[in-house]
Structure formats: C-alpha cells, structure tokens
Structure 1
C-alpha cells in the first residue's frame, strides 16, 4: 500500500537509490523491481513466446510519475516512453492537482462488444427482427464458450442488431455486449463471436463474414476529474488562458489532434508499462473524439470554478486488463502492476485516465505560458548529450552548456564535449 506518492528529489538520486525509495514507499520487494534491469527483464526466450519471428528485444525507458492522488489513494505510476518531458510533466501536474484533493474517477461496467457481419440478407429489417427474437438463444450459446468468465460474474449482457448501409449492400450486423470483468476482453469476445456466427447467419438468412471485437469501446468508459489550484498554476490569467486553450481544442480539429496526442502521451505510457494493448486504447480514444456531429474534437474539457481554480475533465474508453496477454507474461508489466498496487482492471483504468488528464494539463500549461520548447528541449538536451558520446558526470555538464548557449543541437554537443575533454 503506497504511503505517499510525494517523493521529492527522486530525480536527483541514482537509479538504485530511487528503487530503494520506491520499496520504502510501496512495500514492493526488490525482487519485483529486478525485472526493470535489462539483464533480468524480458529475455529473448520469453519474447519468442509472445510474438512470432522474434529476433531480439527493444528497450523502452520506464520512469515513475510521482505526486498522484487518485480517489484518495496515493499511487506511483510506471510510464514506458521514449519521449523526454512526459514523466516530469505528468508528475508536475499531479503535484498541482494534489493541492485540492487530486484526481477523482468514475466508470461504466467493463463492457466490450463483438460484431458479426451478415451478408446477402434479402430482407435486412426482417433479419434484424429474427435475431432480436432469438436473443436469448444467441446469448446462451455465446456464454457456453467461456464458463469461467460467467462464473466470475461476466458474460454476455445483451444482443444488439444494426443495419449498416454500404455502397455494396445493407449489412445486418449483430453485436454481442460482453462484461469481460478484469480482462481486456479481446480473446473472450472474439471466441464468442466465432462460436455464434453460423447460427446468427442462419437466423438472419444470410452468410456470416467478419466476426471480431470492435475497438470502439464506447460502453467501457472511464472519466477523470481534477481541480488545479489557480495559484499553483500561475494565477488567474493563466487559468483564463488555459480555458481558452482548451476551448480551441474543442472547436478546431487541427488543434484537437495535437491536444489529444498530449493526452495519449500519458495514457499510452502507462498502458505500455502494464503490458496492455496500446493500439486498442488509442483506436478507441480517437474514435471517441468524434462527436455526434461527426467532427473530431478534444477528449478533455476545462472550465473555471467559482473559486477561480481550473477544473479539468477527461472521458474516454479504457479497455485495459489485469489478466491474460502480456500483463502476466511480461516481467516488466508484472513489476509495474506491483508498483501500482491495483486490484482490478477498473482501478488500472482509473490510473491510466488520471495520468492522461495530468499530461494534458501539463502540456497546455507549457503552451499557454513559456511555450512547449523550453521545458521539452531542456530534457531533450540530455538525449543530445548522450548521443554525442557524453558519459557519467560529462552529461550534466554538456546539458548545462547546451541550455546556457540555447543551442540544443548534436554538433554543438559534440563541440562542447570535445572542449570538456581537452580541458582535463
């Protein structure tokens, strides 16, 4: 159980000392963190069982976002990302949200859907009606495919049938709505869809073709809210400017695309760290960003409350799980989940969406004040220094010069490094 996520000075410690701080704060043992060493993490032999034609393993840095309070619980959040400033930005936004209680979440049930496409139905309206009349038969047949899921309280909750006109013909499309409990759910709903497809085709009077889940998981929604203290943000003018920045993202798809990318910087980093499906989450998020009018818009909303503070809201589908897939097979994912201390898929979804809101606020604040490049490029300077060949105590010295000279470029880093070494 995390005692506090407020680990000030963590970035100034060596990696080994950071891990000891995490152990002291979370109670997670050193063996759980050992997987974060490349030598003890995902090995080629393990990777060979995860995907096909394995030739190696690619490393992604795993950082720890601090300062988060989510539904009254302090939590340290592992984030897997190669992009500089993401972890620091999320931690800083969480520190500001912490002043007024942190993040609060709500959610729907963990419902996923599978589609069965039926072709060549002479009477599509009649086919739809026949399927709905056979609703219980189809639900029972689907539930027979996963008795364990049913035993744990999950299973098919409904059968929906849509008529989808296309340039070729009108398709009858049946949807199985399935409570997948603590799984992401793709395997469960796909198995069910394949099992009932033949019978669905017979009842509808056509030929079944596609039978697969939809990543438009709009029945599996998680929402996060936070109040960001006006003084900590920089004052009333900053709050007003942030409201304007959020309003542009709502109104303009060109701004919304980058605005939502900032949200996904945080979300995808946590999803990846926990061994979940980043592509499924991203697909669901961006499809959710298309409003009722068919226009792409921002996933988040911002407004000013009666006390002059900034209130942020984020809502999107969050199909993540704790069972199955890489969440159990990948040692780093197991380590990340141990650090998070989550017990259900919904608790994990809460963490993911809260991180997305924090990341969003941090990016907007940078844009509305100093500009995105100052903070981003300061951190990027470390990458440039290392690429130039700096090691050990050379890195901070090169970084300091790059920032001081306002020239964060590879050739300048090489020049600075050469000067340092020649001076020794």
Structure 2
C-alpha cells in the first residue's frame, strides 16, 4: 500500500527520483533512465531549468520551429513557434507565403490597459463607503510610489482606481477596480504588489476613519489579484486582397472561394460547437509564439476565450467580409504580453526567440502574436473549404505514426514516398508498414 510522502520538497533531486522509483516505478526501471536522458549536459543550464519551478525531476522538451516570410506592417519577420502539434508551423508558413505578395498583414494595437482588483466585503452605509474611498484614494496612490517609481520612468504605472458596488450580485461585496499600464513587462508581479499594498492601506485606514461605526470600520479584504481578462489591452490584425487573387492552388474561382470562406466564418460566429474548434485553431498559432517568447499562454488563453464570449455567447474571434470585390479577413483579441522580466531574461531559447523577432517591444510582440493567430486560422479554414483538413494534417502527422511503430530509416523513406499519392490515415499507414515488413 502506497503511503503519503512527507517533506518531499526538501529532498534533493536524486532523493526525489529514488523515492519515485521505489514507490511508483518499481516495475519500470527504464523510466528513471528516461528522466536522466533529458537532463542537460551543461550543469549550469540544468540548474537554471531546475529552478524555474518546484520539485523538478527532468526537462520536458517541445519542438522549437520557425515560420518565415511574415510581412507585418511592411517589415519581414521569421516567427519562432514552440508547439508539438503536426502541421501548425507548416500551415502558418504557407499562410505567410500566400499573403507575402498581397500586401502582407496589417496590425494595430488599440490599447494596452491591464486590470486588477481588491475584493472586499463591507457591511454598512454605502454613502459612507464612497466618502471614505474619495478621501483615501490619494493616500492609496501615494502608498505605492516605491513600487511604481521605475515603471513610471518608463511611462507606465497606475492609471486609475475606482470603487465598484457589486452587492446586487453578492451580498456585501465591493471591489477596488484598478487599471495599469505595464509597458514592456507582462506586469503580473507589479500589479499584484500594487494591489496588495492598496488592500493593506485601505483596510488599515478604515479603522481610523471617523465616520465609520465599529462594524463598518471592520471591512474585510477577501483577496487582491490581477485579472487575466484584459478587454482594454487589444490588438487587431488583418489582411485583404482582390477576390480574384484568392484562387491560387485551388480548383475554385476567387469568387467561389471567397463566398465559401465567408460562410465558414459566419458559421463559426453563430455556432458555438464550431466556434470552439475554430478558435482552437487560432490559438495554435498564438500559443506557439507566446510559449516561444516566454509568456504565459494559460493567461492568454483564459483572457481570449472570455473575450470570445463577451456578447453573451461564445463566438468566432475572426471575421471576414467581401466589399466591392475586396476580400477582408481580420482578428481582434486581448493580449497581455511582455518582453522584459519573467523568463525573457532567464531562458536561453526565449532570449533567442526575441532576438529572431528583432528584440520587439511588448506592443510589437502583440502585433506579431495576433498575426500568427490570424495566419493559422486562414490556413485552417482554407484547407477545410478546399481539400479538407485531414489531407494536409495527416501527411504532417505521418512521421509521428511511423515513430510510434518504430519504423526504420529505410521504412520511413518508402512509406513517405508511397503516401505522396495516397490518403494518409493511421490504419492505412500501419497496414502499409506491415505489408512491407512481411515482404
């Protein structure tokens, strides 16, 4: 019977692995060697990776690839992407090439405001609370000056603090709703530090506010935390060209392609079951660049999907139109990204990715990431309405199937050649491989 382990975090990495081997991997001796196989031979680099998080045993590698030929606002970029899914980088590259000579991608940052909240409960006169807030607001702003000094030198800082009454939704619930500009940093630590200081001062000064009764003075701070929903931190990416230019590499006319593409987008706008998969394809491009540049893809995912539901129904993040013979395709999403702080100065591949992108500011990175999402979606919808998604995807997935079945180098070459002219499915690849091995 397995017993709980005590003090696991205090064990050395060697001791952690020994405990794991003796507890859960008794019949899997090769698994311990697998852990060690992925250690970095450079001990300093390995220590750096070990200290990124807690209880580390090894490294989990993901492919680091490149999608070239992205023309964004008339500048050419090669976009680094970290992703394990087949066909994503190929699709992004194909979309970049398609739009390269059609004016490229245009991207604009609409705003960069981020938000955080101090959540608290208060039992008492609402007017008294408002009066207290009006009086304490300058004190709150002054209290974070030591935290905001460097950010303000870069043009950022606290933009506003508002008192919000949420008692119609939850009894006695109020919040300090705060807006920030964090310039080139994602800003999570900065925002949270400011919010916690606001909370401490707001709670302490309430005890000395002469208009409050004893109960009113004991307002209770529940929590102080930034929000990953950033609907004011918006970026727009778009492409456009004459409808007649859309027929490249298809058997359709430009007009047929444009109409069918438009219908596919409209379906994703009104049908949530389709919209989720549609937006997942957008996130294939976005997450891959966010991860490669050391940003928090979980925060980005949460914020973007919330934005997709902002009108009360989950819907497509991309939109298209045909006007006067011109095809337009665009995306508008919230993105909170950083190019300083966090992993950007620690992870060697993150630094490399930012170097490849010509050391972008946070605003420039927002544009690049949004364009990657738009390109990925264009490629996916284009495949769906022409050849179907599986033809291209399964050909890219072919090598994964062959590796899964331990194909030799010679077998891979023959199988790849065979499926140049045949439809790839998992069963057909296995069948062909078995035939080959039987001679």
- TM-score between both structures, scaled by the size of structure 2: 0.81
Equivalent position of 1:324 in the other structure: 341
Give the one of 318, 321, 327 matched to 1:300: 318
Residue 122 of structure 1 deviates from its aligned partner by 1.8
- Assess, with a 3 A threshold, how the Cα gap between structure 1 residues 299 and 407 changes in structure 2: closer, same or farther: closer
Q: 1:284 aligns with which of 276, 297, 303?
A: 303
Query: Shift in Å at residue 160 of structure 1?
Result: 2.2
- Any idea what SS the aligned residue of 2:339 has? coil
Inter-partner Cα distance in structure 2 for 1:350 and 1:333: 18
8 A contact 1:224–1:357 mirrored in 2:
yes
2:362 maps to what in 1? 345
Note if 1:211 corresponds to 2:224.
yes
Cα deviation 1:221-251 (Å, max 9, x = unaligned): 1111111553453211111111111111111
1:19-418 mapped onto 2 (5 Å cutoff): 43-124=45-126, 126-128=128-130, 130-165=132-167, 168-201=170-203, 202-203=205-206, 205=217, 206-228=219-241, 230-234=243-247, 235-292=254-311, 294-306=312-324, 308-392=325-409, 394-402=411-419, 404-409=421-426, 412-414=428-430, 416-417=432-433
376-385 or 188-197: bigger deviation: 376-385
How far, CA to CA, are the matches of 2:105 and 2:43 in structure 1?
31
Q: What is the alpha-carbon distance in structure 2 between the residues aligned to residue 265 and residue 258 of structure 1? A: 11
String of CA shifts for 1:130-168, please: whole Å, max 9, x gaps: 324533322222333232112221110111222223665
SS in structure 1 of the partner of residue 223 of structure 2? strand
Change over 3 Å in CA distance of 1:241–1:129 after alignment to 2: farther
Aligned partners of 1:249 and 1:259 also within 8 Å: yes
**Kept after mapping to 1: 8 A contact 2:304/2:333:** yes
Are the aligned partners of 1:64 and 1:79 in contact in 2 as well (CA < 8 Å)? yes
Segment drifting more, 384-393 vs 147-156: 384-393
Give the drift of 1:85. Answer: 0.9
> How far did 1:65 drift?
0.8
Structure exhibiting the larger radius of gyration computed from Cα positions: 2
Gapped regions of structure 1 (runs ≥ 5): 1-36
Question: Do the aligned residues in 1 keep the contact of 2:166 with 2:173 (CA within 8 Å)?
Answer: yes
Shift of 1:309: 3.7
Q: Is contact 2:294-2:343 (8 Å) kept?
A: yes
Q: Which residue of 2 aligns with 1:27?
A: none
Is the 1:105–1:225 contact (alpha carbons within 8 Å) kept by the matching residues of 2?
yes
Residue pair 2:295, 2:337 contacting (<8 A) in 1 also: yes
1:370-392, CA deviations, whole angstroms, 9 ceiling, x for partnerless residues? 11111111111121122222344
Name whichever of 38-47 and 127-136 sits farther off: 38-47
- The offset of 1:278, in angstroms, is 0.3
Q: How many residues align?
A: 384
8 A Cα contact 1:143 1:192, kept in partner: no
**Structure 2: where are the runs of 5+ without partners?**
1-38, 207-215, 248-253
CA RMSD of superposed structures (Å): 2.4
Name the SS for the 1:127 alignment partner.
helix
